[in-house]
Homo-oligomer: A and B are copies of this chain.
Amino acid sequence: MDNKKRNFFELPDKVLTSLPTGAVKDTVEHLGKKIAHGDYATGAILPREDELVESLGVSRTVVREAIKVLCGKGLIRTARRYGSRVCPFDDWNLLDPDVIRWHDPESPQTARIYAEATDLRLIFEPEAAALAAVNANRNQRDTILAAARAIHPLDGRASMIGADYMFHATILQASGNQMLSQLQNLIYAVMLFSYATSLKTPPEEKVARRNHVGVAEAIDSGDAELARGRMKDMLVLNKAMADKLVASMFQE
C-alpha cells in the first residue's frame, strides 16, 4: 500500500502523444526533440526525406507521416522543391503537450520559456485555486491535501516533485474548467525543468511544504479568497526563486 501510494505521487514519466507506439511515433519524438532543442535554426532546412530515410532507417512513408504531425504542431512547414524548414518560434504551438515536453530541460535556452511559464502560472493558478475551493469534489479535496502533505524532502527529489505536480494538476482539474485544466502540461514542463536543475538549488522544502498545505486547507475549507491569496503568495515566492535561478544560468 505504501508502495502504491508512492507510485501515485511520482512524476508521470511520459505525457505521450496519442500516436501508437511504433516507428512513426519514434520518428516524431526524435525530430521533434531535435527541433525543440534548437539543432536546426529557425528557417533552416531539415534533411531531405530520403536522407532521413537513410539516417533513421525507416521508410519514406514513416518519415512523411512524422513530418506531417510536426507540421500540425507548427514546428515546420514544407514546400515542394524546397524541403521542410523550421518555422519561426512564434508559430510553434507552445501549449501543445508534446512541444512543451520536447524542450530540453538542460538547455539555458529553455530558461526563457521556463520564466514565461512561471509568469503565466502566477496569473492563472491563484484563480484556479479559488475555483477549486468552490467546485472540487470530496475526492479531489482529499487528493490535494494528501499531495500537499506528501511534499517533504525525505522521499527524495523525484517523488517530492511528483507530489508537487499532482497537487497543482489536481487543483486545475478541480477548477471545473477544461481549458484551464489543460494548462497542467505547462506545469509539467516547469516541473521537468525544475527537476533537472533542482540539484543546484538550495532546498527550501520545509517552507514549500507549509505553503502547499496552507493552500490545500484553504481549498478544503471552501474559502475561495483565502485559497487564491495563499496560492498567489506561494507562487510569488516561487517566481523569485525561479528568477534567481534563471539569472544564475545566464550568468555562467
| Interface of A toward B, CB cutoff 8 Å | 17-20, 24, 28, 61, 64-66, 68-69, 71-80, 87, 89-91, 93-98, 113, 116-117, 119-120, 123-124, 127, 177-183, 186
A18 to B64: give the CA distance in the assembly, Å.
14
Count identical subunits in the complex.
2
A68 near B19 (CB under 8 angstroms)? yes
Contacts of A87 in B (CB 8 A): 18
Contacts of A94 in B (CB 8 A): 178-179, 182
In the complex, besides A17-B74, A20-B78, A90-B181, 19 extra interface pairs with C-beta distance below 8 angstroms are A17-B72, A18-B75, A18-B87, A18-B91, A20-B77, A20-B79, A24-B68, A65-B65, A66-B68, A72-B72, A74-B97, A93-B97, A96-B96, A113-B179, A120-B124, A120-B177, A120-B180, A123-B123, A123-B180
Contacts of A123 in B (CB 8 A): 123-124, 127, 180
